[in-house]
Every structure is written in structure tokens, then in C-alpha cells.
Amino acid sequence: MYALGAHLLVELKDCNAAMLRSLEEVRDALVSAAREAKATIVDISFHEFSPFGISGMVVIAESHLSIHTWPEYGYAAVDIFTCGDVIKPEAAAAYLIERFESKSPSIVEMKRGILSHDNVKRPHKCTESHLQVA
Amino acid sequence: MYALGAHLLVELKDCNAAMLRSLEEVRDALVSAAREAKATIVDISFHEFSPFGISGMVVIAESHLSIHTWPEYGYAAVDIFTCGDVIKPEAAAAYLIERFESKSPSIVEMKRGILSHDNVKRPHKCTESHLQVA
């Protein structure tokens, strides 16, 4: 069986709420997590909402990381969607659990793109020779 | 029980491959899907990879939509993460299934941020009075 990607849905509960309220902190955490995972960062987009709450996305060559924070609950929803063999998504998840001091984290992993027809790997953007943004 | 958000993980298989290869087509599809769902678009980021493959994210006030395409397989992975009662995530999913002509779609839904302590809704950015980007 071959899946094109792995998607970690990370629930960060009981976090350090002050960190979840800070745009700079959240952005730095996600970018650092992407680097921990050895990802190739393509674009970064972070937004702060009123009265509070941060949403952010890090587009990587290997797919994306995203975060949405609810500081009033000490909760953040993180997604780490990756493809390829070089990248280490669990390293990104572990980094964020520690960075946000989550006392009650959980992770659901879903395989994305399980293709049944021939199980032959075809060259795609996640292979090293294709890590090039057009 | 109260969940802060709903996350639809949409697998679009057996799509129109030519559409999945086009940056303009994919970007327009996601933006249109966000509008179908009555979302408030905050930011848009789309990238084309070499030799093919599109990655895109639409940050909305209600969280995000994302897509990663594998035209060589006629496959795209879509995520529709929303919060609040006004937005219609299934409308976005149905729109994309039809737009990309997926003959074999599937959807997994995950509730994000199920908080057990007091089940009291607190004001957050997804309520109408807070739909304001800082």
C-alpha cells in the first residue's frame, strides 16, 4: 500500500494561553516546527483576530502546516500534512507540544491519497529532484 | 458536547487531471468554494510546483481551506476547517467534488477542540461581532 501523504491532526489542549495569544510567538513556533521537520518552506501567512485568536499557515514543498488558536481555552488546532520520505512530521508535532506547553495533546494520523491501481511511485514534487517552486 | 471547529478531510480521486494541473483553475475553485460556504476570506496563497502539482491555502476568518493536487494521479487532497454556525463546509466540499469532476470522492469529518470542562460558549473570532481581522 502506498499513500501519497501523511496528515497529523494535532489537538493541543491545556496550553500556555499567553503564547497562543501572541502572533509573533505562534508564527515563530510554526516556522520553527517546519524547520524541525526538515521541511522546505514556500510561503507563510499569519493573522491575528479580534478580540483574540491567531490563524496561520506555512506552505511547504511537502504540503503544509497550519494552526488556529483559541487562547481563551488554552487550545490550538494544528495540522501537519506532509509527503515524501525525508520530512519528519512527528518532529514538528513534538516540537509544538513542547513549545506551547500542552499538558493534554493528542494526535490523529490520516493517510492521504491511498491509490490502489498500480502502487507504482511516480515522480512528484516531493522527490528531491522536484523540490522547485515554479 | 461542544466542539470549537469541524474539519472535513476530502479525498478527491479520479478527477479531471487537466484541471488539477492548472494554477488558475485550482485557485479559482478554492476561492469559489470558500464563497459557496459563506466564508470570510482573509488571505490566499497558491503555488505551482515543478514538474506539476499545486498547493494552495485560503485562510478564512472561520479557519481555512487547503488543497494539494497530484495531477499525475488525478487526485487532490482538500481540507475544509471551519468554526461557527453561519459557515457551510459541506457546501464547499460538494462544490469542489463537482468542480474537479471527482468520480470517487470521500470525506472524513473530525470535530476539533472538544472541550469538556464547562461546555459554555465563549465569544471568539468566529462569532459575527468578532469577524474582524486585527
CB contact under 8 A, B77 and A81: yes
Residue pLDDT tens, chain B, 134 long: 789 999 999 999 999 999 999 999 999 999 999 999 999 999 999 999 999 999 999 999 999 999 999 999 999 999 999 998 889 999 999 999 999 999 999 999 999 999 876 655 555 555 433 344 45
**A79 vs B: CB within 8 A:** yes
What is the value of pTM for the model shown?
Answer: 0.90
Q: How many CB atoms lie within 10 A of CB A5?
A: 21
Q: Can the peptide bond before residue A51 be classed as cis, meaning omega within 30 degrees of 0? A: yes
ipTM of predicted assembly, 2 dp: 0.90
Of A27, A55, A83, which to mutate for an interface test with B (greatest number of B Cβ within 10 Å)? A55
